[in-house]
Amino acid sequence: MSVPHLSTAVLSTNFVADSIPKFTQMLIALAVFFAVILLIFFLAARARGKAQTPLALLIFLGPAVVLLLIGLVMPAIRTISLSFFNADSNKFVGGKNYGWAFTDPDMRKILITTVLWLVVAPIFATSLGLMLALLIDRMKHESVPKSFMFMPMAISFVGASIIWKFIYDYRDPSNAQIGLLNQVVLWLGWKNPPNWLLTQPLNNFLLMVIMIWVQTGFAMVVLSAAIKAIPSDVIEAASLDGATGVRLFRTVTVPMIRNTLVVVFTTILIAVLKIFDIVRTVTGGQFGTQVLSNEMYNQTFALYDNGRGAALAVVLFVGVLPVMTYNVVQLRKERANR
Amino acid sequence: MTVESQQTIPTSAPPPPPPPEHREGSSAAMRASFSTPLASVIVVIITVLWTIPILGLLVTSIRPQKDVASSGWWTFFTHPTFTLENYTNVLGGGGSGGSGGLAPFFINSFIITIPGALFPLALASMAAYALAWVPFRGSTFIFFAIFALQVVPLQMSLIPLLQLFNNNFTIFGIHIPTPVLSGYSAYLPVWIAHTMFALPLATFLLHNFISQLPRALFEAARVDGASHFLIFRKIVLPLSTPAIASFAIFQFLWVWNDLLVALTFAGGSNNAPLTARLSQLTGAFGSKWELLTSGAFIAIIVPLIVFFSLQRFFVRGLLAGSVKG
């Protein structure tokens, strides 16, 4: 182990000095927030008579409603209107931004890449998750593999991206390798592997692997629970009728968990449609890997084109809307069935 | 599984993995119909495959810089070399080309995440109580409106909200003056943004739970003359602890792992969290893998600790919240 050097000493003094005001800010914010709530509660609890209920509503519901109006409703309306204006939002341009979004050659490529993501990643993650859920259902110590496969879901996409960018690291075959993927294919006898992250369209699939790595555990845990919830008499009746193995799976298991399958699939679909962190961290959207959500961010915050940025946000919204509506309605139905 | 935990999750979300002796549902017949040692072998192989990436990260982060640059991390097992220098470097800023250490950003992550989880939790549980137990005209409408807001992706809010927070908001060419939030505290915009974005889901989930509490409790309390405020503090909060804990963990991890909100409302500045800084460094550090891996490990260790220590709550909360927009 090496001797800790100068940076450690610098770290300890500056670091503490810098951190104290930050924690002070946080503690003041928390103290003020909760003190105000408690004070209002204390005062309002003394109200008597007719004003009681309206006052309680105002205090309990008011803050959430106001924050939602300012934070989501008003901005959504404004984003829609901004999407019909130019970059500086001072000239009405009609549908020009949308025309650009669907006809510009670069944008087309971005949309195609996004659709490719939408087709590949959710299908792989869901079917792999389903397969694992079925296999795991037959194991004695299922919680251990479940925990490990679910683990990627706990860490950030940024962390996952760094982990995988390292795996995809490319070096010329004549050098010692540090990227696992390149080393494995060299061991397997591939003499001249491509420079992974620079090769189109291969790099898009490599990025999707990160998403699949993260989402498979989620799919597996949810589907595994659904499989366990199938009443055992259904399975027994089916097996008395001679259904076994794949046939049992196809005719009984899958139909019984169909709703859950759809919810898992659509949930991953939405996550993929909004994928941002992975592309941004691994390639920055270069080398033909740009996707809708990251381009929206770039147009807005790198190119300062509020019109185009807003138009892309609306495209994203319209894409998410049907799937999300379905999901949310589905959630409600399941709740009603309880 | 308790009744409470079922109510926590409005979705098809599962109970936490039950211990083997409590298995129910899938029958012996079904298990037998596929059961082969092959199934276990496949699962073990995939589990190992799933874990290798994180193992590679951990191993690389504790190898000396010259070894990381000249040989693969898998050679560690035949030629083990060990150092913590990468961690002191990446935290303190040594060896990173003058770009400063990650330690302040690690602190920022906590500073952003703790209020970013507590604020929405408090406001949402209050709103959920009002919607569930204070009858008034329009209650159903407001509940559905909040519920429906879950479909709005937060990308729709970024531009207008940033303009609003920076006193740069105009309607029909008229400038609407608004307070510059970052003038009060550099973290205020990001705290408020996270609070706003969390409210629809938080209110919905907590409402599911709070509305299922026994009616008799509330009626008895009202008869005794308790105010809504007393009922909220003495009945709702204590009884809702499981739901609140699940959502708190979910929201803590969501905010900790978030990049988009952080980049927009705290990005580029000295107040950015680890995710934003790491994403930036991935370009700047290029191939300094010993620093990137140790930096990434610092960022993921907190969620991993939460995950392994609170797995039950975590899985519940995460699954319940997996539809968050």
Give tens-digit pLDDT for B257-311: 999 999 999 865 788 999 998 888 887 666 788 888 999 999 999 999 988 888 7
Helix (H, G, I), strand (E, B) or coil at B170: strand
Per-residue pLDDT, B19: 42
At B16, the pLDDT band (50, 70, 90 cuts) reads very low
Query: Residue B21: which pLDDT band, with cuts at 50, 70 and 90?
Result: very low
A338: which chain B residues are within 8 Å (Cβ-Cβ)? 6
* Contact assignment for B323 to A178 by CB distance below 8 Å: no
| Residue B98, domain member (yes or no) | no
> Which of A11, A140, A150 has its CB closest to that of B20?
A140
Taking contacts as CB-CB distances below 8 angstroms, the residues of chain B near A179 are: 72
Give the per-residue pLDDT at A75: 93
Indicate yes or no: CB of B278 within 8 angstroms of CB of A158: yes
User: In this structure, is residue B131 part of a structural domain?
Assistant: yes
What is the mean pLDDT of the segment spanning B102-126? Answer: 94
Is B46 within the bounds of a domain? yes
The pLDDT of residue B79:
83
- B138, closest residue in chain A (CA to CA): A57
Q: Residues B138-153: pLDDT tens digits?
A: 898 999 888 888 888 8
**Do B180 and B56 belong to one domain?**
no
Q: Is residue B253 less than 8 Å (CB to CB) from chain A?
A: yes
Per-residue pLDDT for B20 more than 50?
A: no
Q: Do B25 and A248 touch (CB under 8 A)?
A: no
Whether residue B57 is contained in a domain is answered as yes
pLDDT for residue B258:
93
- Determine whether the interchain pair A159/B299 forms a contact, defined as Cβ–Cβ distance below 8 Å: yes
Q: pLDDT confidence of A159, banded at 50, 70, 90?
A: very high
The 3 state secondary structure assigned to chain A is: CCCCCHHHHHHHHHHHHHHHHHHHHHHHHHHHHHHHHHHHHHHHCCCCHHHHHHHHHHHHHHHHHHHHHHHHHHHHHHHHHHCCECCCCCCECCCHHHHHHHHCHHHHHHHHHHHHHHHHHHHHHHHHHHHHHHHHCCCCCCHHHHHHHHHHHHCCHHHHHHHHHHHCCCCCCCCCCCCHHHHHHHHCCCCCCCCHHHCCCHHHHHHHHHHHHHHHHHHHHHHHHHHHCCCHHHHHHHHHCCCCHHHHHHHHHHHHCHHHHHHHHHHHHHHHHCCCHHHHHHCCCCCCCCCHHHHHHHHHHCCCCHHHHHHHHHHHHHHHHHHHHHHHHHHHHHHHHC
| Residue B325, pLDDT score | 47
Minimum CA–CA partner of A9 in chain B: B92
Same domain? B76 vs B156: no
Report the chain A residue with the minimal C-alpha distance to residue B185: A25
Residue of chain A whose alpha carbon sits nearest to that of B142: A65
Phi-psi region of B97 (alpha: psi -120 to 50; beta: other; left: phi over 0): left
Residues of B (299-318) whose Cβ lies below 8 Å from A: 299-300, 303-304, 306-308, 311, 314-315, 318
Whether residue B129 sits in one domain with residue B261: yes
> Residue B124 has what pLDDT?
96
For residues A143-157, average pLDDT = 88
Mean pLDDT of A285-314: 93
Interface contact A274-B155, CB threshold 8 A = yes
Q: Highest mean pLDDT range out of A168-177, A309-318, B25-34?
A: A309-318
Residue A92 phi, psi (nearest 5): -70, 130
Judgement on whether residues B205 and B286 belong to the same structural domain of the protein: yes
CB-nearest to B25 from A164, A230, A245 is: A230
Contact B260 A249 (CB under 8 A): no
B182 and B58 belong to one structural domain:
no
Interface predicted TM-score (ipTM): 0.86
Q: Which residues of B touch A297 (CB under 8 A)?
A: 158, 260, 263-264
Q: Is residue B14 part of a domain?
A: no
Decide which of A117 and B95 is more confident: A117
Q: Provide the pLDDT for residue A334.
A: 63
> If pLDDT is split at 50, 70 and 90, which confidence band does B317 have?
low
The pLDDT-based confidence of A278 (bands split at 50, 70, 90) is very high
Query: CB–CB of B282 and A282 under 8 A?
Result: yes
Give the percent of chain A with pLDDT over 70: 94
B130 with A60: Cβ contact below 8 A: yes
Q: For residue A195, is pLDDT > 70? A: yes
Cβ-Cβ contacts under 8 Å, B30 against chain A: 137, 232, 235, 239, 248, 253
A20-29, A120-129, A178-187, B180-189: least confident range: B180-189
Residue of A nearest to B230 (CA): A45
Residue B190 lies inside a defined structural domain of this protein: yes
pLDDT at A13 (0 to 100) = 63
Select from A335, A319, A232, A333 the least CA-distant residue to A269: A319
Give the residue, A6 or B174, on which the prediction is more confident: B174
Q: How confident is the model at residue A4 (pLDDT cuts 50, 70, 90)?
A: very low
Our CA dihedral for B40, B43, B49, B55, rounded to 10 degrees, sits at: -80
- If asked whether residues B134 and B171 sit together in one domain, one would say yes
pLDDT, position B50: 93
Same domain, B78 and B107: no
Is B27 among the domain residues? no
Residues of B whose CB is below 8 A from A156: 256-259, 275, 299-300, 303
Of A41-45, A250-254, B9-13, give the lowest mean pLDDT range: B9-13
Provide, rounded to the nearest whole percent, the portion of chain A with pLDDT above 90.
48
Closest CA of chain B from A204, distance in Å: 18
| pLDDT reading at B33 higher than 60 | no
| Inter-residue contact A287 to A197 (CB < 8 Å) | yes
Q: Which residues of B touch A147 (CB under 8 A)?
A: 17, 308, 311
Q: A282, B228: Cβ pair inside 8 Å?
A: no
Indicate if the pLDDT at residue B3 is higher than 70: no
pLDDT at position A233, please?
83
Task: Determine the pLDDT at residue B268.
Answer: 59
Contact call for A135 and B39, based on CB within 8 A: yes
Which residues, listed in sequence order, are joined to residue B169 by a DSSP beta bridge? Answer: B176
Tell me, yes or no, whether B187 and B62 share the same domain.
no
The alpha carbon of residue A184 is apart from the nearest alpha carbon of chain B, in Å, by: 11
Domain range for B73 is 36-83
Q: Where are the domains of chain A?
A: 6-92, 97-337
**Could you tell me the CATH number of the domain that includes residue B314?**
1.10.3720.10
Whether residues B227 and B313 share a domain: the answer is yes
- A268-280 average pLDDT score: 89
Distance from CA of B217 to the nearest CA of A (A): 18
> Tens digit of pLDDT for each residue in A219-255?
998 888 888 888 888 878 887 887 777 778 888 888 8
CATH architecture for the domain at A97-337: Orthogonal Bundle (1.10)
Are B187 and B63 found together in one domain?
no
Non-local CB neighbours of B77 within 8 Å, separated by 6+ positions: none
Average pLDDT of span A69-74:
94
Q: What is the pLDDT of residue A147?
A: 87
CA distance A275 to A294: 8
- Site of tokens 């499981």: B242
**Residue B15, domain member (yes or no):** no
Please check whether residues B274 and B140 belong to one and the same domain. yes
pLDDT tier at A315, thresholds 50, 70, 90: very high
Q: How many domains does chain B have?
A: 2
pLDDT-derived band at A263, boundaries 50, 70, 90: confident
pLDDT at A1 over 80: no
Most confident residue range from A137-141, A184-188, B28-32? A184-188
Beta-carbon separation of B69 and A248 below 8 A: no
Mean model confidence pLDDT for chain B: 81
Comparison of pLDDT for B43 and A333, the residue scoring more: B43
Of the pLDDT bands very low, low, confident and very high (cuts 50, 70, 90), residue A336 is: low
Does one domain contain both B223 and B293? yes
